């Protein structure tokens, strides 16, 4: 499938795929923070959560709270379905949630939805689901989606016990996929983590990509607050 895109401007257009070391590591926080930084640069900005598992039934249909937060940050505004094409009620692995809903997550549909955003917005921040290799259907996973959309990656590291191993394995898999790793973000999900700074320094020595920010444990995280702890990659990779 050919994805229609508006002409790219290397100095202004930005495209990012946000992945993480695991579920609940802070991908949505970083997505919102990046969107805020893009908006502060005066760019038309879209966020996309291609697949969401864990939603409430409403009069408007199934709605996911993270996708709603991303939708609210889009400028100009977008419909919910433009932001979140696949939404499932149970908070389980996406391919299992899709099977329960008697459907299949189709990367063609996601590529089409992304193409529409990329054709009308200078900045598009796509939040992956779960971790880097979470299955989306019987044969494809989140890494395949990233390659399909031809996007560079930012890795969110959830700082907690075990994060070094999870991070280095994820980086290794990203590199093996042939996808550019633009940088990584340290997110303090465990405020009482022992030797958190030592963990960060270990990862800085071992990950050959810049640290783009450190997000402290926030009681009431907002996009304009999170963005103060982040920086966009120095060079936006052409996609």
Is residue 209 within 8 Å of residue 182, measured between CB atoms?
yes
Which two structure tokens, joined as six digits, stand for 147? 């390659």
Which two structure tokens, joined as six digits, stand for 25? 């590591």
| Domains, in order of start, for the chain | 14-229 (3.40.50.300)
Q: Which helix (H) or strand (E) holds 144?
A: helix 142-149
Which two structure tokens, joined as six digits, stand for 156? 């969110």
Q: What is the pLDDT of residue 233?
A: 87
Task: With 0.95 as the threshold, say if the pTM is over it.
Answer: no
Encode the chain (239 residues) as per-residue pLDDT tens digits: 333 344 445 445 699 999 999 999 999 999 999 999 999 999 999 999 999 999 999 999 999 999 999 999 999 999 999 999 999 999 999 999 999 999 999 999 999 999 999 999 999 999 999 999 999 999 999 999 999 999 999 999 999 999 999 999 999 999 999 999 999 999 999 988 999 999 999 999 999 999 999 999 998 889 999 999 999 986 543 33
What values do phi and psi take at 196, rounded to 5? -60, -45
Q: What is the pLDDT of residue 235?
A: 55
Distance of CA 174 to the CA centre of its chain: 14
Q: What is the pLDDT of residue 159?
A: 95
Nearest to 161 by CA among 186, 195, 129, 134: 195
What values do phi and psi take at 98, rounded to 5? -65, -40
Q: What is the pLDDT of residue 236?
A: 45
- Of 27, 49, 133, 204, which residue is the catalytic one? 49
* Collapsed DSSP state (helix, strand, coil) of residue 198: helix
Scan for tokens 């889009």, then name that residue.
74
Has 49 been annotated as catalytic? yes
Q: What is the pLDDT of residue 13?
A: 63
Q: Which helix (H) or strand (E) holds 16?
A: strand 14-20
């Amino acid at each position: 499938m050919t994805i229609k895109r508006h002409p790219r401007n290397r100095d202004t257009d930005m495209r990012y795929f946000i992945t993480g070391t695991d579920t609940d590591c802070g991908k949505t926080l970083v997505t919102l923070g990046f969107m805020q930084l893009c908006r502060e640069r005066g760019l038309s900005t879209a966020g996309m959560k291609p697949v969401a598992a864990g939603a409430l039934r409403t009069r408007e249909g199934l709605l996911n709270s993270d996708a709603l937060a991303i939708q609210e940050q889009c400028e100009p505004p977008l419909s919910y379905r433009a932001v979140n094409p696949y939404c499932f009620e149970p908070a389980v692995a996406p391919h299992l949630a899709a099977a329960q809903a008697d459907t299949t997550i189709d990367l063609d549909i996601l590529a089409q939805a992304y193409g529409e955003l990329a054709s009308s917005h200078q900045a598009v921040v796509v939040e992956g689901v779960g971790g880097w290799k979470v299955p989306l259907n019987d044969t494809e996973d989140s890494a395949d989606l990233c390659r399909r959309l031809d996007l560079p990656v930012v890795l969110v590291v959830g700082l907690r016990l075990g994060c070094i191993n999870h991070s280095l394995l994820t980086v290794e898999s990203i590199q093996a996929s042939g996808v550019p790793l633009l940088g990584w973000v340290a997110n303090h999900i465990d405020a009482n983590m022992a030797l958190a700074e030592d963990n960060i320094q270990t990862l800085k020595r071992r990950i050959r990509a810049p640290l783009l920010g450190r997000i402290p444990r926030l009681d009431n995280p907002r996009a304009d607050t999170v963005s103060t702890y982040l920086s966009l990659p120095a060079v936006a990779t052409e996609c």
